Amino acid sequence: MDNKLLAIDDAELHLSIVRKIAAQAGFKTTGANCVGEASRLLRERTFDCVTLDLSLGEQSGIEILKLLAEIGCRTPIIVISGSDDAVLKETIRIGNFLGLNLCAAVPKPIHLAALRTTLMQVAHATLRQKLATPAGG
């Protein structure tokens, strides 16, 4: 059973890296390279995990966090960013304030082992949750 990941990043190279690592952790990845595309996907589908770059061209990943809060999303979110530690900590604070499930912050350049470990933890937790939920419930 593949888990579904939405990877939001405006750099195709980073999306490619996330796809490869996510596949190793049992995720089928859908990529979005801008706030508009990510917003559309989040409103149309459900995902088991979201990776989010904070810098999306002219827009900020914070807009995605606001949308996730607006739609009541409890999906685990992994922030992947080249921002400094202070910005990452502030983002996590904002996410927690919004009631989101920010489970990790991975700095860029992407630490592959850290991302793989985090995705595997999310995959295992998601599987446990799916197994514990009665069919149709």
- Calculate mean pLDDT across residues 36-43: 95
Give the integer Cα–Cα distance in Å for 136 and 113. Answer: 35
Flag whether pLDDT at 84 surpasses 90: no
What confidence tens digit (pLDDT) does each residue in 51-80 have? Answer: 999 888 888 889 999 999 999 999 999 999
| 98, 65 Cβ separation under 8 angstroms | yes
What confidence tens digit (pLDDT) does each residue in 87-121 have? Answer: 888 888 899 999 999 988 888 888 899 999 999 99
Q: How far is CA 77 from the centre of its chain?
A: 4
**Of 33, 54, 32, which is closest to residue 45 (Cα–Cα)?**
32
Please tell me the predicted confidence (pLDDT) of residue 87: 86
Domains and CATH numbers, the chain: 3-130 (3.40.50.2300)
**pTM across the whole model:** 0.90
Please tell me the predicted confidence (pLDDT) of residue 136: 53
Burial class (CB in 10 A: 0-12, 13-18, 19+), 85: exposed
Cα torsion angle, 128, 131, 136, 137, sign: negative
Q: What is the mean pLDDT of the chain?
A: 90
